[in-house]
Structure 1
Amino acid sequence: MSVPPESVVPPPPSEPYGGDIPAEERTWAMMAHLSALLGALVTVTFGHGWACFIGPLVIWLVKKDTMPFVNDQAKEALNFNITVAIATLVLLILSIVTFGIGLIIAIPMWVIIWIAWLVLTVVAGMKANEGVRYRYPFALRLIK
């Protein structure tokens, strides 16, 4: 049995930021998370790997006033990557202060941090692309 066209009610218009998030905004939010991978890759080729927060920082500074979802997700990515950079730096300082003995703790921790960072960054990028406001399980909320 078919429904007459006049009885079909169109869906209500979607709210721009409470409901459906535009594709462009979802893409920028995804890039805010995944740009950390690019930042780390570029700086690792020069002997460092600490610049994972530069990509999210740039995207947040450029898009924070025009795209609320990107503002939220770029801040989240920025906070997480700053947290990872601080943890890495603390382990490096521990290694230096203990004249290398701290490497017994630092090296396994770096491996764990790196794997967690990689997995969580990819998951966050996928969730942001789906329009989900992703929250990392551990991050210092330095940028509010």
Structure 2
Amino acid sequence: MNLREDRNLVAVAHLSQLINFVTGFGGFIVPLILWLTQRDKVLGMDLQGKQILNFQISTFILTLFCVPAILLFGLGILGFIILGVLIFIFPIINAIKAINGEHTYYPLSYQFLT
């Protein structure tokens, strides 16, 4: 099967995570739909879509850990700030890398989908 190269669509998948800052939940749904519909058609979408979804699942779990950590001297608030910065910055960095054909990486990401 021939896969077409569409770096812009892969970049859109990375940037679609930023929808979380507007809706609170769309940053998981949009990349999931793009990954499910385009993973067999677009070169790199399968691997990068899995990276995006693994990052979204990992940050959700880490956010759940931050909630009770607020009671421990406010450490959860620091965790929320760090996660917020990572969730905002890394999709932008990885979208730029995807457009340039470079390897993408998400920190604090456990590999649920392999």
Task: Give the Cα–Cα distance (whole angstroms) in 1 for the partners of residues 92 and 107 of structure 2.
Answer: 14
Q: Which protein has the larger Cα radius of gyration, Structure 1 or Structure 2?
A: 1
In structure 2, what is the equivalent of residue 135 of structure 1? 105
Q: What's the CA shift for 1:79?
A: 0.8
Task: Give the Cα–Cα distance (whole angstroms) in 1 for the partners of residues 81 and 26 of structure 2.
Answer: 17
In structure 1, what is the equivalent of residue 71 of structure 2? 101
Q: What's the CA shift for 1:133?
A: 2.8
Q: What TM-score does the superposition give when structure 1 sets the normalisation length?
A: 0.69
In structure 2, what is the equivalent of residue 27 of structure 1? 8
SS of corresponding position for 2:63 = helix
Task: Give the Cα–Cα distance (whole angstroms) in 2 for the partners of residues 75 and 131 of structure 1.
Answer: 17
In structure 2, what is the equivalent of residue 41 of structure 1? 21
Task: Give the Cα–Cα distance (whole angstroms) in 2 for the partners of residues 110 and 29 of structure 1.
Answer: 27
Q: What TM-score does the superposition give when structure 2 sets the normalisation length?
A: 0.85
Task: Give the Cα–Cα distance (whole angstroms) in 1 for the partners of residues 15 and 73 of structure 2.
Answer: 29
Aligned residue-pair number:
113
In structure 1, what is the equivalent of residue 88 of structure 2? 118
Uncovered stretches (5+) of structure 2, i.e. residues with no partner:
none
Uncovered stretches (5+) of structure 1, i.e. residues with no partner:
1-15, 44-48
Task: Give the Cα–Cα distance (whole angstroms) in 1 for the partners of residues 18 and 96 of structure 2.
Answer: 14
Kindly, what percent of the aligned residue pairs are identical? 28
**Relative to structure 1, is the Cα distance of residues 109 and 61 closer, same or farther in structure 2, using a 3 angstrom cutoff?**
same
Contact 1:73/1:133 (CA < 8 Å) preserved in 2?
no
**Relative to structure 1, is the Cα distance of residues 71 and 109 closer, same or farther in structure 2, using a 3 angstrom cutoff?**
same
Q: What's the CA shift for 1:124?
A: 0.5
CA RMSD in angstroms, aligned pairs only:
2.1
Query: Which deviations, in whole Å up to 9, do the C-alpha atoms of 1:12-71 show, x marking residues without a partner?
Result: xxxx87xxx83xx10111011110001x0232xxxxx35532222111111011123111
By relative contact order (CA 8 Å, sep 6+), the higher-ranking structure is 2
